C-alpha cells in the first residue's frame, strides 16, 4: 500500500510538472524574430478609448505624448 502511494505521488508530480511546462509562454529571441512588428501609438490616459495612431504625435484630447504599443502582424 505504501509503495502504491509513492508511485501515485511521483506520477502526480510528474504530470503537474509536464502540464505546467506545456503552458509556459516561450517569448525568446527566436519567436521575436519570426514575426513582423509594426509600431502603433496610444494615449497612456486612453482619452479616446483604444484608438491607435501610426506616428508618435500628441493626444488631441489631453496633449500628452503617445506611448508605443507593440502589435504583431
In this structure, are residues 40 and 52 in contact, taking their beta carbons and an 8 Å threshold?
A: yes
pLDDT at site 30: 47
Distance CA(14)–CA(7), nearest Å, equals: 11
Which run of H or of E encompasses 20? helix 2-22
pLDDT of 48 above 80:
yes
What is the per-residue pLDDT across 10-46, written as a single tens digit (0 to 9) for each? 888 887 776 666 655 555 444 444 455 578 999 999 9
pLDDT of 65 above 90:
yes
pLDDT at site 43: 93
* pTM of the predicted structure, to 2 decimals: 0.44
Q: Decide which of 47 and 12 is more confident.
A: 47
Boundaries of every domain in the chain? 36-73
Amino acid at each position: 500500500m505504501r509503495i502504491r502511494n509513492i508511485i501515485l505521488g511521483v506520477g502526480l508530480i510528474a504530470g503537474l510538472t509536464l502540464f505546467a511546462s506545456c503552458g509556459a509562454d516561450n517569448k525568446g529571441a527566436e519567436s521575436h524574430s519570426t514575426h513582423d512588428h509594426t509600431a502603433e501609438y496610444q494615449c497612456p490616459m486612453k482619452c479616446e478609448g483604444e484608438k491607435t495612431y501610426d506616428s508618435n504625435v500628441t493626444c488631441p484630447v489631453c496633449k500628452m505624448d503617445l506611448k508605443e504599443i507593440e502589435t504583431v502582424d
